[in-house]
Amino acid sequence: MSEKNRIVLAYSGGLDTSVAIPYLKERTGKDVVAVSLDVGQGGERLQTIKKRALACGAVESYIVDARDEFASEYCMPALKANAMYEGVYPLVSAISRPLITKHLVRAAHQFGADTIAHGCTGKGNDQVRFEVSIMSIDPTIKAISPIRDLGLMRDVEIAYAKEHDLPIEQTEKSPYSIDQNVWGRAIETGYLEDPWNGPTKDVYSYTDDPAFPPVEDEVTIDFEKGIPVRIDGKEVTPLQAIEEMNQRAGAQGIGRVDLIEDRLVGIKSRELYEAPGAVALITAHQELENCCLEREQHRIKRDIDKRWGELVYDAQWFSPAVRSLNAFIEETQEYVSGRIRMVMHGGRAVVTGRRSDTSLYDYRLATYESGDSFDQDASNGFIEIYGLPDRVAAARDVRFGRGVEVPDQTVE
């Protein structure tokens, strides 16, 4: 097609984006192409979603099973970076938006569209992630949100669905805004907007209640260059590794998070997450890094990991900054290979064993038994020189009456 006059819509199959199909057509005069991805969110089959897209008036429906791509190219980089925004949130939604955008842009090129539409509101991070990702891949494509830009509000939606007889009875409306994929699940809004309201039992679906766990589950995970390749000795793909750990860590209630989070747009928001597989895998990966990374490299990596998480949270997946951090992180994974043993029980994943041919742990240096190869005498000289600046500074403090106070006490 030579003339680009269509809109590509990120289509979930839910109420908002179903109504958006005829609504966008009516308000812009452009035909709508619906794009739907399987990123491991479960729920309806892609074929069912495709049928609904066409029934709602889409001229084309593009569906992709992107689960392996998501696991290998988005979740694995997050694992290598131990990515945890604000120390606890494993970037579930933040890493899916760049992947979805890649497919949206591909569909825009394939079906002759000049605009991409998404169902985000104007208050969240996801609108920024979609649109900054679009700009980074193809800066000629425009972005639009029917909810944010065309007044598609709840009451309008319902009236519109009735009037146009849209086949959306099956699309259940949850009391929460939920986004989920194989890396985890995010739950927000509604009753949870009062930060004092505790989560009700119905909000969780990837995890069981950690207060009533089954018997403990011991697992071994083998990593090669930062990637899980075997679980309990059985070979797994990245997707299988995440899925299996979601099952097993989920059964133990691992990976539940409840926090007030700082959004990119400046709002503080109440968020609940459950990411059992991600949290268990990151716990194991981090411990393997404790063995395999050199001390200074590791200290720098912890800073880099934190910045990576913030930048990816802040919609910078395709940015030069993240690309450069990726190069550093990738290099550090060269020796991150070996086996981690972990016990999962009652909400916690605790590493109990580690073994690696590329570890820097040296028994002969560490041991207090005989066979010690560490020269303890050398520590005298080390401390003498290492402590020299403190000794000189302390002498000056004493001269000026500012030394560390030691209470004068006579012992009877």
Query: Where does this chain bind ligand ARG (CB under 6 A)?
Result: 93-94, 125-126, 177-179, 186, 188, 261, 271
Minimum distance, C-beta of residue 10 to ligand ARG, in the bound complex (Å): 11
Judged by beta carbon, residue 58 or residue 94, the one nearer ligand ARG is 94
Minimum distance, C-beta of residue 202 to ligand ARG, in the bound complex (Å): 16
Residue 194 known to be catalytic:
no
Q: What angle, 0 to 180 degrees and rounded to 10, lies between the N-to-C axes of helices 295-313 and 276-292? A: 150
Which one is catalytic: 52, 67, 97, 185?
97
Short-list 294, 297, 292, 295, CA closest to 355: 292
Q: What distance in Å separates the CA atoms of residue 7 and residue 21, rounded to the nearest whole number?
A: 10
Sequence-distant (6+) residues with CB within 8 A of 68 are 237, 238, 239
Judged by beta carbon, residue 126 or residue 289, the one nearer ligand ARG is 126
Q: What distance in Å separates the CA atoms of residue 116 and residue 105, rounded to the nearest whole number?
A: 8
**Which tokens is 126 given?**
């996801």
**Which tokens is 184 given?**
């985890």
Other Cβ atoms within 10 Å of 218 Cβ, number? 13
Minimum distance, C-beta of residue 261 to ligand ARG, in the bound complex (Å): 6
The 8-class DSSP code of residue 34 comes to: E
The number of helix segments (H) and strand segments (E) in the chain equals: 15, 14
Minimum distance, C-beta of residue 78 to ligand ARG, in the bound complex (Å): 12
Q: What distance in Å separates the CA atoms of residue 80 and residue 363, rounded to the nearest whole number?
A: 26
Question: Which residue is listed with tokens 């958006």?
Answer: 20
Distance, first Cα to last Cα, the chain: 98
Residue 114 known to be catalytic:
no
Judged by beta carbon, residue 41 or residue 72, the one nearer ligand ARG is 41
Which one is catalytic: 6, 12, 16, 305?
16
Short-list 262, 10, 223, CA closest to 124: 262
Question: Which residue is listed with tokens 């926090």?
Answer: 259
| CA neighbours closer than 13 Å in the CB half-sphere of residue 206 | 32
Judged by beta carbon, residue 178 or residue 229, the one nearer ligand ARG is 178
Residue 18 known to be catalytic:
no
Judged by beta carbon, residue 18 or residue 93, the one nearer ligand ARG is 93
Short-list 217, 218, 239, CA closest to 228: 239
Judged by beta carbon, residue 265 or residue 350, the one nearer ligand ARG is 265
Minimum distance, C-beta of residue 133 to ligand ARG, in the bound complex (Å): 14
Which one is catalytic: 38, 126, 179, 305?
126
Q: What distance in Å separates the CA atoms of residue 307 and residue 304, rounded to the nearest whole number?
A: 5
Minimum distance, C-beta of residue 3 to ligand ARG, in the bound complex (Å): 33
397 three-state secondary structure: helix
The residues pairing with 235 across neighbouring beta strands, listed in sequence order, are 230
Q: What distance in Å separates the CA atoms of residue 265 and residue 76, rounded to the nearest whole number?
A: 27
Judged by beta carbon, residue 28 or residue 177, the one nearer ligand ARG is 177
Minimum distance, C-beta of residue 315 to ligand ARG, in the bound complex (Å): 9
Which one is catalytic: 27, 72, 106, 177?
177
Residue 177 known to be catalytic:
yes
Positions annotated as catalytic residues are: 16, 97, 126, 177
